[in-house]
């Protein structure tokens, strides 16, 4: 179970340690040498802030590649079944495709999803997702740079305004 890891980063780079200060991937590799079948229950959402968007779309592919490289035989990706959680349609789409082939590039999948799901505001949604991801990973964990947080938040707001004006 990956419950001791930081899900906003790829598991191989998670800042939290698993038991006895070993890296999660070291434990996973050990389990895969000891057992014939290793099943991983991986969380793709943030239980603490259940309804908030959880920008880990760029972690899904490296996590599945880590499982594959370590020798995991089965993976369950747990998300949210609620249509109200932000970004769930995108995560469902990505997980479905990446489970079939974790080595495929993620950008063409993102482009195809944004074109199909949002049609016209394709550029807006992709920019918004990238900015939100940046905001979460660079600013929120440090809680230090309020001015940079405000600047990125303003960029997100203007992207929404532009998309609304074009609709």
pLDDT (mean) for 62-79: 92
153 pLDDT band, cuts 50/70/90, is low
- Which of 89, 8, 17 is CA-nearest to residue 44? 8
Confidence of residue 96 (pLDDT cuts 50, 70, 90): very high
pTM above 0.85, yes or no: no
Q: What is the mean pLDDT of residues 114-123?
A: 70
State pLDDT tens for residues 6-27: 667 788 776 554 454 557 788 8
Residues contacting 28, CB < 8 A, separation 6+: 38, 40, 66, 67, 70, 72
Nearest to 10 by CA among 41, 44, 48: 44
């Amino acid at each position: 179970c990956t419950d001791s890891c930081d899900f906003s980063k790829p598991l191989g780079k998670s800042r939290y340690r698993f038991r006895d200060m070993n890296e999660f991937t070291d434990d996973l590799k050990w389990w895969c040498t000891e057992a014939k079948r290793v099943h991983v229950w991986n969380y793709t959402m943030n239980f603490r802030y259940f309804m908030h968007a959880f920008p880990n779309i760029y972690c899904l592919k490296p996590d599945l590649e880590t499982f594959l490289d370590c020798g995991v035989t089965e993976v369950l990706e747990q998300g949210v079944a609620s249509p109200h959680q932000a970004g769930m349609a995108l995560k469902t789409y990505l997980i479905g495709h990446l489970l079939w082939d974790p080595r495929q590039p993620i950008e063409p999948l993102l482009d195809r999803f944004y074109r199909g799901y949002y049609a016209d505001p394709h550029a807006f949604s992709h920019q918004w997702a990238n900015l939100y991801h940046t905001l979460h990973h660079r600013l929120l964990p440090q809680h230090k740079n309020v001015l940079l947080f405000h600047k990125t938040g303003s960029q997100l707001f203007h992207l929404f305004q532009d998309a609304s004006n074009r609709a």
